[in-house]
Amino acid sequence: MTPATDRRTPRWRARLLLAPMVAWLVLFVVAPTAILFVYSFCERDEVGRVVFSFTLENYRRVADPVYLRIFNRSIGYAGLTTLICIGVGYPVAYCIGRAREAWRQRLLLLVMVPFWTSFLIRTYAWITILKQEGLLNGLVHQFAPGAAPFELLYTPTAVVIGLVYAYLPFMILPIYGSVEKLDGALIEAAYDLGAGPLRVFSSVIIPLTLPGIAAGTLLVFVPAVGMFAITDLMGGARVPLIGNVIQNQFLQARDWPFGAALGAVFMGLFAVTYWLMLRLGAREEETAA
Amino acid sequence: MKSSRLLFPALLALVVSVVPAHAGAELNLFGWSEYVPQSVLDGFTKETGIKVNFETYASNEELLSKLVAGGGSYDLVQPSDYAAEVMIRQKLLAPLDPALLPNLKNLAPEFRHRAHDPAGAYTVPYMSGTVGIVVNTEKVKIPVKGYGDVFSAAFKDRIVVLNDTREIVTWALYTLHRPINTITPECLAAARPVVAEWVKLVKVFDSDSPKTALLNGDVDIGIVWSGEAAILWKENKKFQYVIPAEGAHQFIDVLAIPANAKNREAAHKFIDYILRPEVSVLISEAFPYTNPNLAARKLLSPAQLANPASYPPGSPKLETFRDIGKAAADIDRLVTDLKSAR
């Protein structure tokens, strides 16, 4: 079996190269997830210590209408955020992807520049803009001195603004990746065959960039469901989302097992979304091929 | 009890935790973030040569979970009253040696021997405060005396309150003239309709910096930590502090030595150093809570003493929290339910 012997050395080398990543995954992904699952079936004592005894009580509590309602609302907020991100991000990604080579890198850099500043500082900047005596109301006052000031901060609108702002780049970058790979010849061919701009867009460009949209949706939707800092800071913590509820179990209620159960259900949700997106991406690539 | 800040500083604190190389010359202090002035730590090191490793947490729950898990090796911790009570019951604290703390005599007697530590054997009061009402008197012209006045339709969407489920339920229990430390399903059922009405009126829930919404003009009235109110008053005298007539939560943050502390001697030295009037007054200047140190109060300026949020006039009804164990989860569910109903 000469071919096998030939391959053996590189295979070992490949394993050696993979080892750090595997170790990282086991330590920081597999192990914590396992702990989360174990905790979610445990109880806790008066002080908040986790007691290792098997119970389904935590999952029964997750099914409480209170938390189901909050799950639904979180999905609603995240869904709306994702839609707005697609609506705003797609044209941006498309323009960058179709811009001249020299410009692309600069434009992409502009998308990423905000990440050089701390997320919390950027959120506080939004508070300065949206607050009642803030920049936006000051500007409105300049042009329409009589108008009543906007009540924007600490409203659901402010939460959605914050979420869209935080996650927009995660939509732009994957779509840009798809747009950049777009074969111009296919678009020209569509025009040659008599399709109008709308038809070209809906039948050629959208299907070809769907993997990017799917990846972006995943990157925006999943973290947006669990976000808690924006709801607290820009929403005034008036309406709890699931991220706030989970955070509370660990920090205020001293109920780690219940928090773990909420987290486990949340991860289940993530897995389902991921699976759906993968199927969507795969199907589209099949049709495209 | 200062505030339950965001998770990020907490995680940072975990990441930078330091293990001492030689325990003899070091003191591992685990305290609230933004509660011990750097000048106090530096002064202690300069005088004693003992290096202070200062780690911070953002909530009593964080401190508790770290101590019960046996993590960290601290010589001194800074829990609030009810958390200290749990620690004493769980035998997590070491008894203090009064002989090493001659400056104990500076403390006002009403802050010692309270329910969390009746014998005063384990804890020394650090700072104290209340949870009360702040009124922007430029916007609010009617007199405000208690919780009932704050949660009225007139102030709809003009109110900030602490984002703390137990606090909110406590205020409701006060208006119902019920005990605040006995949480039963029956008393939660009674509090439910009250809290349900209240959460509809509130514009902002914020434990970290409730003064921000008041300063920004987004709200006109609030129920906040007295330290926040004291800072507002210093900023502008239009922010008046009122202790609710129905009764108010008083918290006493204490210093205590964990049972597994390696350097109890340094811990005692640090406690006694903090009890010196000239040191204690530095803490008051940085964090204008109620200073339990009578000798230090003599060094405060008349303006500082006149701050009604730091030193409320009269003799209001004040009570500390007791540990309520698993009932915390019932309170959390109740308030989460009512908040998400809107």
**Nearest-by-Cβ selection for B4 from A46, A120, A251:** A251
Which DSSP letter does residue B293 get?
B
Nearest to B133 by CA among B225, B253, B14: B225
Per the CB < 8 A criterion, the answer to whether B100 and B268 are in contact is yes
Q: Is residue B286 part of a domain?
A: yes
Contact state of A255 with B333 under an 8 Å Cβ cutoff: no
What number is the average pLDDT over the span B229-235? 93
Contact state of B163 with A232 under an 8 Å Cβ cutoff: yes
pLDDT value for B12 = 42
pLDDT digits (tens, 9 = 90+) for B309-328: 999 988 889 999 999 888 98
Whether B67 and B105 map to the same domain: the answer is yes
pLDDT digits (tens, 9 = 90+) for B143-182: 999 999 999 999 999 999 999 999 999 999 999 999 999 9
Contact state of A69 with B340 under an 8 Å Cβ cutoff: yes
Contact state of A120 with B8 under an 8 Å Cβ cutoff: yes
Q: Which two tokens stand for residue B159?
A: 């109110």
Spell out the per-residue pLDDT of chain A, length 289, in tens.
444 455 556 688 888 899 999 999 999 999 999 999 999 999 988 777 888 989 999 999 999 999 999 999 999 999 999 999 999 999 999 999 999 988 999 999 999 998 899 998 999 999 999 988 889 988 988 888 887 888 889 999 999 999 999 999 999 999 999 999 998 899 999 999 999 899 999 999 999 999 899 999 989 998 999 898 899 999 998 889 999 999 888 887 888 999 999 999 988 878 887 888 778 767 766 766 5
pLDDT digits (tens, 9 = 90+) for B66-123: 888 776 789 999 999 999 999 999 899 999 999 999 999 999 999 999 999 999 999 9
Q: Which domain holds residue B227?
A: 129-249+316-340
Q: Is residue B311 part of a domain?
A: no
Whether B202 and B334 map to the same domain: the answer is yes
Q: Is residue B2 part of a domain?
A: no
**Nearest-by-Cβ selection for A154 from B6, B7, B204:** B204
Per the CB < 8 A criterion, the answer to whether B72 and B66 are in contact is yes
pLDDT value for A288 = 61
Q: Where are the beta strands (DSSP E) in chain B?
A: 26-32, 51-57, 76-77, 93-94, 123-136, 159-161, 202-205, 221-225, 239-242, 248-258, 318-319
Which DSSP letter does residue A235 get?
S
Whether B123 and B206 map to the same domain: the answer is no
Q: Where are the beta strands (DSSP E) in chain A?
A: 43-44, 50-51
Percentage of the residues of chain A whose pLDDT score is greater than 70: 94
pLDDT value for B59 = 84
Checking phi first, is residue A241 left (phi over 0); if not, alpha (psi -120 to 50) or beta?
A: beta
Contact state of A64 with B205 under an 8 Å Cβ cutoff: no
Whether B97 and B201 map to the same domain: the answer is no
Domain count, chain B: 2
B86 contacts in A (CB within 8 Å)?
A: 46-47
Distances (CA, A) of A36 to A221, B149, B312: 22, 45, 46
Nearest-Cα distance to chain A for B329, in Å, is 5
What is the CATH number for B190?
Answer: 3.40.190.10
Helix, strand or coil, per DSSP, at residue B31: strand
Residue B264 above 90 pLDDT? Answer: yes
Whether B228 and B333 map to the same domain: the answer is yes
What number is the average pLDDT over the span B20-39? 79
Instruction: Report residue B54: phi and psi, to 5°.
Output: -105, 115
The neighbouring-strand residues paired with B31 are B56
Whether B23 and B106 map to the same domain: the answer is yes
Whether B65 and B155 map to the same domain: the answer is no
Selected from 3.30.70.360, 1.10.3210.10, 1.10.3720.10, 3.40.630.10, the CATH number assigned to the domain covering A66-288 reads 1.10.3720.10
Residue B6's pLDDT band (cuts 50, 70, 90): very low
- CA–CA–CA angle B273, B275, B277 (5° rounding): 100
Residue spans of alpha helices (H) in A182-228:
184-192, 197-200, 206-226
Whether B118 and B94 map to the same domain: the answer is yes
**Nearest-by-Cβ selection for B68 from A47, A134, A238:** A47
Residue B14 above 80 pLDDT? Answer: no
Among A61, A124, A248, A252, pick the best mutation site for testing chain B contact (most B Cβ within 10 A). A252
pLDDT value for A55 = 92
